[in-house]
């Protein structure tokens, strides 16, 4: 950043990515700001600025780079990395501490507080927020948790029998006790006989009875905006394999393919994507969404010029947008990934999104991967 960038940050005031502090801030106070930014999306702390935005500067001969590095190392657990720069602005000495989105989230203060940045303030993480932080770090997998009020009776044993037949196991001929043991050993049921989130979404008789938002909402708009005329709208539920197959079929039926007659054949006049592209994007949304986010379903929007695939949940700590393009992946839902790989919906070696990226590029189309709030979004130009 240069002086112009700093002045721009100051003029916009404190927000989700910027915090003003005077030079008299104590290490524990600064650590709270660092923890909140690291647990959220990162940000910049400007020392020598009043809350009002007035430049007062820092005073004394303190080496702020060394001091801030020590705070980040000794007052934040685990330690974080930051960038410290000093500026002379309007005759005032201003210190800018740039805090990145943490790779080792969740972070806490020495007093054990997990803080997150909400707007221009910091607050202690709620239980759901903390759970998501641990989930993104890979310390906790929500698809392994049990679903209340479920039991052996909520599992489609015919689907399970077909699954186990791949391994030469005649599940239908086993005793009920042995069936339960097999279901528990494969994480379809937990030790108490309740269905796991992963087991219910793959093999459940009616998954939406207990997980109402484990579904896909599809909408086809005539124009380029959500406010335009709605052509088609559907809720796609059932197990994940069923959702994926139905969603791809619905997309194919809704996408117009301009064509002309040449001789005795109808020939497409507009290049479009192979079915594998749509299948990959739907599968990716289903397999990698955050099922801990209640009240949020996967959404697929079809517009005149693009498609949007919106999946609840952010990327894991170590995964970036750029890494996705080259095939770096991380299993947020390892149970679901295991079953979907065995059912041949994914190959688990990270070839899916790079294939989609190259397919768009070969057609001269734009594709965008981005995080918006608590959602991951893929925008595919048509």
Q: How far apart are CA 17 and CA 40, in angstroms?
A: 9
Q: How far apart are CA 30 and CA 25, in angstroms?
A: 7
* Average pLDDT for the chain: 89
- Contact in structure between 108 and 98 (CB atoms under 8 Å): no
pLDDT of residue 23: 81
Residues paired with 97 in a beta bridge? 45, 84
State the residue for tokens 């001091």: 67
Instruction: Give the residue ranges of DSSP H helices in the chain.
Output: 3-12, 27-39, 64-74, 127-137, 157-165, 176-185, 197-203, 240-254, 275-288, 321-325, 334-342, 352-362
Euclidean distance between the first and the last CA atom of the chain, given in angstroms as a whole number: 37
pLDDT of residue 96: 96
CB atoms within 10 A of CB 51: 12
Q: How far apart are CA 40 and CA 364, in angstroms?
A: 35
pLDDT tens digits for range 217-235: 999 999 999 999 999 999 9
Q: How far apart are CA 207 and CA 152, in angstroms?
A: 13
Residues paired with 378 in a beta bridge? 309, 369
Q: Which whole-number Å values give the CA distances from 264 to 261, 268, 371, in the listed order?
A: 7, 13, 47
**Cα torsion for 123, 129, 133, 139, to the nearest 10°?**
130
pLDDT tens digits for range 144-157: 999 999 999 999 99
182 phi, psi to nearest 5 deg: -65, -40
pLDDT of residue 354: 85
pLDDT tens digits for range 1-41: 888 889 999 999 999 999 999 888 999 999 999 999 999 88
pLDDT of residue 292: 86
Calculate ∠ Cα 24-26-31, nearest 5°: 130
Q: How far is CA 339 from the centre of its chain?
A: 20
Q: Which tokens is 239 given?
A: 């197990």
Q: Which tokens is 84 given?
A: 């410290």
pLDDT of residue 138: 66
CB-side neighbour CA atoms (13 Å) of 277: 23
State the residue for tokens 């940045």: 117
What single DSSP character describes residue 55?
B
State the residue for tokens 């095939």: 327
pLDDT tens digits for range 153-204: 999 999 999 999 988 999 999 999 999 999 999 999 999 999 999 999 999 9
Q: Tell me which of 85-94, 132-141, 219-228 is least confident.
A: 132-141
Q: Is residue 259 predicted with pLDDT exceeding 70? A: no
Calculate ∠ Cα 283-284-289, nearest 5°: 110
- Contact in structure between 210 and 249 (CB atoms under 8 Å): no
Q: How far apart are CA 81 and CA 95, in angstroms?
A: 16
Which of 50, 131, 41, 39 is CA-nearest to residue 77? 39
Q: How far apart are CA 259 and CA 266, in angstroms?
A: 6
């Amino acid at each position: 950043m240069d002086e112009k960038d700093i002045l721009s940050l100051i003029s916009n005031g404190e927000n989700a990515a910027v915090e003003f502090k005077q030079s008299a801030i104590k290490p524990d106070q600064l650590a709270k700001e660092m923890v909140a930014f690291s647990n959220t999306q990162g940000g910049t702390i400007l020392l020598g600025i009043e809350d009002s935005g007035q430049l007062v500067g820092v005073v004394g001969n303190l080496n702020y780079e060394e001091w801030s590095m020590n705070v980040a190392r000794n007052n934040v657990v685990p330690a974080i990395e930051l960038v410290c720069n000093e500026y002379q602005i309007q005759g005032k000495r201003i210190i800018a501490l740039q805090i990145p989105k943490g790779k080792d989230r969740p972070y806490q203060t020495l007093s054990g507080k997990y803080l997150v940045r909400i707007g221009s303030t910091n607050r202690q993480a709620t239980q759901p927020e903390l759970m998501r932080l641990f989930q993104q770090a890979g310390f906790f997998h929500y698809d392994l948790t049990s679903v209340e009020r479920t039991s052996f009776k909520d599992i489609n044993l015919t689907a399970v029998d077909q699954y186990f037949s791949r391994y030469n196991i005649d599940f239908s001929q086993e005793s009920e006790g042995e069936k339960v043991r097999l279901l528990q050993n494969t994480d379809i049921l937990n030790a108490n006989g309740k269905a796991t989130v992963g087991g219910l979404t793959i093999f459940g008789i009616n998954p939406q009875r207990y997980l109402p938002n484990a579904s896909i909402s599809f909408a086809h708009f005539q124009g380029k905006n959500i406010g335009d005329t709605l052509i088609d709208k559907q809720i796609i539920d059932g197990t994940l394999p069923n959702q994926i197959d139905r969603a791809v079929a619905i997309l194919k039926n809704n996408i117009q393919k301009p064509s002309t007659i040449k001789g005795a054949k109808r020939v497409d006049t507009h290049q479009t994507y192979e079915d594998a592209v749509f299948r990959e994007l739907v599968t990716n949304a289903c397999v990698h969404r955050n099922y801990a986010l209640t009240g949020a379903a996967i959404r697929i929007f079809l517009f005149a010029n693009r498609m949007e695939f919106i999946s609840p949940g952010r990327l894991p700590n170590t995964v970036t947008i750029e890494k996705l393009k080259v095939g770096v992946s991380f299993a947020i839902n390892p149970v679901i990934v295991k079953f979907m790989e065995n059912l041949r919906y994914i190959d688990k070696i990270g070839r899916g999104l790079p294939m989609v990226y190259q397919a768009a590029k070969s057609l001269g189309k734009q594709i965008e991967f981005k995080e918006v709030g608590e959602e991951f979004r893929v925008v595919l130009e048509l």
